[in-house]
Amino acid sequence: MARITLENVKKSFGKVQALDGVSLDIKDKEFFVLFGPAGAGKTTILNNIAGIQVPEEGIVKFDGEIVNLVDAAHRDTAMVFENYALYPQMTVYDNMASALRSKLYKKDEDYIQKRVHEIAKMMNMDHLLERLPSQLSNGQKQRVAMGRALVRMPKVYLMDEPLAHLDAKLRNAMRTELKSIQAQFGTTSVYVTHDFMEALSLADRIAVINEGKVVQIGTGDAIYDLPVNEFVATLMGDPEINVIPGRIEKTETGYRFSMQGSGKSNDLPEDKDLFAKFEALGVEKVDLALRPQHLVYSFDPVPGYLHCTVYSYESIGNKSVIVADHEGLQLRLIAPNGLRVKIDQDVYVDTKLNYSLFFDYETKEFLARYNEAEIRKIAEPEEEEG
């Protein structure tokens, strides 16, 4: 169990700056998710915590103690690697027992046997123990890699995309299992993923990483509902959030939003706090962002609706996605399955503007949103000191 602190950690590989001043404070017993696109530096952060790599600048602390000079073996972590990193010449059992047989974490064979079987049973792979890694499917390998980490009770679990190669069914089951394991043992866990659903469902807190920098840290709610910039907003949610560039103007009663180009303009629904913020910021050009579920459509003309053509219509299981095209601006919206939709047919789209988020047109930074105060209350619970 440990609190892990990174202070201004920098790391480069040749000319590539992999980490550019990363600071994180991961609390004891926390399930902390590092989330971001491929190549953002998530795995490098994990490696620096594990001690596999050493930062060129900055400090890594475990429970307040600087561990920069402690090697990986002595940091008492357990890690799941994305490419599994199983020892090919050892059976699954020996792979799992490996750490408990090393000098540092030595346990007697009776204990090892008990522990390995216990974990194998939990992971539903007790029938695989005698196999070699080459005889396993990718999903099975991934479970072994997880199991190898779980046999130990380290200070911290480090997991690099441990569910990425599992099929949907197994992934769902394992996600639930992971969560209950963590709740049971309360071991600090740092988890890397590029799947926003995994991040949201597992994390106590999420750090969004991009290009070696921390973009935002917060609860899942905060990241989803109060993204600090457009980049974070587009990462969360599938289909992606719609971004509509335009300008806001003050009217007699409130504010009015006009879409860029020949698009239509609407009065924004009243929200005193929001309008006050607009007033204070004094911005004009903004990006209005709306999640696909907050767009409504009709195939018959409705006055006030935006005229678009269907760019594509795809079923994604329990629902479908219509991509509507308005002069090159593509809007994604949710529709039921089984509609008879032809590509390039007309569709009319309206926006539920009272769910809008506003971003700066130039910097793409978050400006304001509807119901901000209320959402902030849910998304940012009072910090417990500890």
Partner 1 sequence: MSGLRIEHVFKRYDNEGKGKKKKVNDFAVKDLNLVTEEGEFVALLGPSGCGKTTTLRMTAGLEEITAGDIYINDVRVNDLEPKDRHIGLAFEDYAMYPPLTVYDNIGFNLRAKGVSKEEIDKRVREIAPLMQCDDLLDKMPVKLSGGQKQRVNIARAIVRRPDLLLMDEPLSHLDGKARQAMRTEIKRLINEIKCTTVYVTHDQLEAMSLADRIAIINFGVLQQYGTPAEVYDDPVNEFVAGFIGEPPMNIIETTIVGEGEHFFFTFKESNLKIQVPERYYNVVSNGFKCKMGVRPMDVLIGGPDSKGTPEHVATFENLGDERRIGIRVGDFLLMLITEDETRYKAGDAIKLEVRAEKTHLFDIETGARIRSR
Partner 2 sequence: MKTGPKTGTKVLLNILLLIYSIFALFPLIWMVILSFKSDAQMYNTLFVFTPTLENYRIVLFTTDYPKYLLDSLIVSGFAVIVSVVVGVPAAYALARYDFKKKEDIAFQILSFKFAPEILVVLPLFMIYQKLHIYDTYFGLIWVYQLISMPLLIWVVRGYFEDISVEIEYAAQVDGYTWYQIFFKNLIPLIKPGLVSAALLAFIFAWNEFTFPLLLAGTNVQPITVAITKFLGTDTAHYGQLAVAAVVSALPAIIFALCIQKHLVRGLSFGAVKG
Interface residue list for partner 1 (CB under 8 A): 37-38, 137-138, 167-169, 172, 176, 179-180, 194-197, 200-201, 220-221, 224-225, 236-240, 291, 293, 311-312, 314-318, 321, 323, 337-338, 343, 378
Tokens of 143: 């479970």
- Is residue 275 near partner 2 by the rule CB under 8 A? no
Q: How many other CB atoms are found less than 10 A from the CB of residue 131?
A: 15
Please check whether residue 189 is in contact with residue 326, taking contact to mean a CB–CB distance below 8 angstroms. no
If binding is defined by CB under 8 A, does position 373 make contact with partner 2?
no
Picked from partner 2, partner 1, none, the partner binding residue 81 (CB below 5 to 8 A depending on kind) is partner 2
Q: Which is nearer to partner 2, 83 or 337 (CB)?
A: 83
CB of 269 to partner 2, least distance (A): 53
Give the residue carrying structure tokens 């990193």: 85
Q: Residue 217 and residue 42: Cα distance in Å, rounded? A: 14
Residue 229 DSSP one-character state: B
Does position 185 interact with partner 2 (CB under 8 A)? The reply is: no
Instruction: Give the integer Cα–Cα distance in Å for 126 and 91.
Output: 12
Q: Does 103 bind partner 2 (CB under 8 A)?
A: yes
Interatomic CA distance for residues 78 and 253, integer angstroms: 59
Q: Which helix (H) or strand (E) holds 117?
A: helix 109-122
Interacting residues of 370 by C-beta distance below 8 A, sequence separation 6+: 269, 271, 274, 353, 354, 355, 356, 357
In the list 5, 44, 47, 356, the residue contacting partner 2 (rule: CB under 8 A) is: 47
Q: Is 89 helix (H, G, I), strand (E, B) or coil?
A: coil
H or E element at residue 176 = helix 168-185
Q: Which of 78, 119, 163, 248 binds partner 2 (CB under 8 A)?
A: 78
Say whether residue 83 binds partner 2 (CB under 8 A).
Answer: yes
Report the candidate in 13, 40, 21 with the shortest Cα–Cα distance to residue 161. Answer: 40
| 52 binds partner 2, rule: CB under 8 A | yes
Stretch that binds partner 2, among 99-107, 185-193, 245-253, 316-324 (CB under 8 A): 99-107
Strands 188-193, 31-35: pairing is parallel
38 makes contact with partner 2 (CB under 8 A): no
Q: Whole-number minimum distance, CB 308 to partner 1, in Å?
A: 15
What residue 79 binds from partner 2, partner 1, none (CB within 5 to 8 A, per partner kind)? partner 2
Which one of partner 2, partner 1, none interacts with residue 281, CB within 5 to 8 A by kind? none
Specify the length of the chain in residues: 386
Binding segment for partner 2 (CB under 8 A), chosen from 77-85, 107-115, 196-204, 370-378, is 77-85
Which residue of 22, 24, 26, 50 would you call a contact of partner 2, by CB under 8 A? 50
List of residues contacting partner 2 (CB under 8 A):
47, 50-52, 71-75, 77-79, 81-89, 98-99, 102-105, 148, 158
